[in-house]
Amino acid sequence: MSMDDVFKALADPMRRRLLDDLHARNGQTLGALCEGRGMTRQAVTKHLAILQAANLIATEKRGREKLHYLNPVPIHDIADRWIGKYERGRLDALATLKRDLEGQTDD
Amino acid sequence: MSMDDVFKALADPMRRRLLDDLHARNGQTLGALCEGRGMTRQAVTKHLAILQAANLIATEKRGREKLHYLNPVPIHDIADRWIGKYERGRLDALATLKRDLEGQTDD
DNA sequence: TGCAAAGGCAACTAGAAGGTTGCATATAAG
DNA sequence: CTTATATGCAACCTTCTAGTTGCCTTTGCA
């Protein structure tokens, strides 16, 4: 639930894909989220557990199925508290970069 | 330089602290960035290498010193291309959550 | 020239992360 | 009741990651 948990959860491409899939269609079952992923169900379960620990998804048990719902709030919080900080000074920082690194390759 | 590199680079709290420090004072030397961090110079060097590989910082050699500059562009790109996607539908998703999870604890 | 300061390189280690397999549990359907 | 479906739990393995230590190179300066 900490900011670090959210960053770590977002670090894995498979977990970002899971969030993307839930963004496209919310409330999917575990089985649905496992399809076409070239990975065992247990691996996906672990990823979902990490996403849930970071409060990025919430789950609901319906009968024998488990439904998964995207929670965009922590992502918003990160954008707000951390990324925003770098964007506010963006133009200034870019100008500084240009001045200080004049002539360097843009690798 | 890929989006995955940026996410992975941002996943480590020490690397985020390094970016914070460069955000507060740009153009610091390696030695300066090592101070008060309870970690060897080589460990910090590795973190900086990862940040540079993700294009989050740029470096310049000045004499025997190495200066480090923050590059906020990849962070902006992430906020724009990926995080923005989740924020646009934020209110809708929140409403869906509330409806679907009515009565659940907000852990 | 000689020494100290700033940094680079490489090998090694401990622990975390991502994945698998095997089996157990709970619900739906016939 | 029996069987199939959907998911949970736990041990294990392998790879990556973060950190260390030890030594080498380059630059500033007396």
Fill in the amino acid letter for B26.
N
Contacts of A7 in chain B (CB under 8 A): 10-11, 13, 16
Is A62 part of a structural domain of the chain? yes
Highest mean pLDDT out of A82-86, A87-91, B20-24: B20-24
Does B89 or A65 have the greater pLDDT score?
A65
Q: How many whole angstroms separate alpha carbon A8 and alpha carbon B55?
A: 19
- Nucleic strand D contacts from chain A, 32-91, CB < 7 Å: 41-42, 45, 61, 64-66
Local mean pLDDT, 10-residue blocks, chain B (107 residues): 93 97 96 96 98 97 96 89 78 57 43
Which domain, by its residues, includes A18? 3-71
* B45 residue type, one letter: T
pLDDT of A84 = 82
* B105 falls within a domain: no
Task: Provide the CATH number for the domain around residue B19.
Answer: 1.10.10.10
- Look at residue B98 in the predicted model and tell me its pLDDT: 56
Number of domains in chain A: 1
Task: Please tell me if residue B40 touches chain A, with a CB cutoff of 8 Å.
Answer: no
Instruction: Select the residue of B23, B82, B96 nearest A86 (Cβ to Cβ).
Output: B23
CA pair distance A94, A73, nearest whole angstrom: 29
User: Which residue is closest to A92 within chain B, CA to CA?
Assistant: B72
**Comparing C-alpha atoms, which of B94, B101, B98, B92 is closest to residue A62?**
B101
Q: Which of A1, A7, A61 to mutate to test the interface with B (most CBs of B within 10 A)?
A: A7
What pLDDT, on a 0 to 100 scale, did the predictor assign at position A53? 97
Q: Which of B13, B26, B86 sits opposite A23 (nearest CB)?
A: B86
Find all residues with CB under 8 Å of B46, minimum gap 6, and list them. Answer: none
Domain annotation covers residue A103: no
From the CB of residue A70, how many other CB atoms can be counted at a distance below 10 Å?
26
Q: Is B107 inside any structural domain?
A: no
pLDDT at B105: 39
In 3D, which of B4, B12, B106, B15 has the Cα closest to residue A73? Answer: B106
Task: Summarize the confidence of residues A51-79 as an average pLDDT.
Answer: 95
pLDDT for residue A46 is more than 50: yes
CB B9 within 8 A of CB B21: no
* pLDDT score at A94: 60
Please give the average per-residue pLDDT across A59-85, as a whole number.
Answer: 92
Residue B39, pLDDT score: 96
* Domain assignment present for A85: no
Is A19's pLDDT higher than 50?
Answer: yes
Lowest mean pLDDT among A37-51, A54-68, B77-91: B77-91
Give a yes or no: residue A104 inside a domain: no
* HEC sequence for A2-45: CHHHHHHHHCCHHHHHHHHHHHHCCCEEHHHHHCCCCCCHHHHH
Cα dihedral A61, A43, A54, B55 sign = negative
How far B39 CA sits from the closest chain A CA (Å)?
A: 19
